[in-house]
Amino acid sequence: MNTVGWREWVTLPGLGIPGIKAKVDTGAKTSSLHAFELRTEQAEDGEIVIFKIHPIRKRKNIIIECRAPVADRRVVRDSGGHSEERFVINTRLTFGPFDLITEFTLTSRDDMIFPMLLGRRSIKAGEMLVDVNESYIHGRMKTRGYEDLLKEGAL
């Protein structure tokens, strides 16, 4: 069994996100991802959601625009008991030895410390053990990498 920390740097290659901090949250059923300026478009094979994300919390100048097929729309209740309808997408998530397709709800997490929650549906039973005393077991991303992407005009 592979141990993960209560927070980890992960990659979302299907969305073009080279690194984002995630809180591994066994109290959350579903994983969620920070998103703003959401809009939809019709494609040949269904509805697409287009959204923007600040992958680095304190760097509002770093914005990545993402596109993903809409898997569902779902009413989700947050930890404060408030309900909202959210888009649901499925995308690839990688970190350490893990490479999995994960379901995310999209919501504004601007006021949260972590732009992403990795919920218990995504934590593979029998494959991931969460050590609440550890952080970034599978490495840290240097946010300087985002600075390089900005300079290159890639963001």
**Chain mean position to CA 53:** 9
Question: What is the CATH classification number for the domain harbouring 142?
Answer: 2.40.70.10
Pair of tokens at residue 59: 């760097």
Q: Read off the pLDDT of residues 44-53 as tens digits, 9 standing for 90 and up.
A: 889 999 999 9
Q: Read off the pLDDT of residues 77-129 as tens digits, 9 standing for 90 and up.
A: 877 788 889 999 999 999 988 898 999 999 988 778 899 999 988 886 557 88
Average pLDDT, the chain: 86
Cα–Cα distance for residue pair 49/35, rounded to 1 Å: 10
Residue 153, CB-side half-sphere exposure with 13 Å CA sphere: 0
Q: What domain range includes position 102? A: 2-151
How much of the chain is helix, strand and coil, in % rounded to 5?
A: 5, 55, 40
* Collapsed DSSP state (helix, strand, coil) of residue 145: helix
Tally of structural domains, the chain? 1
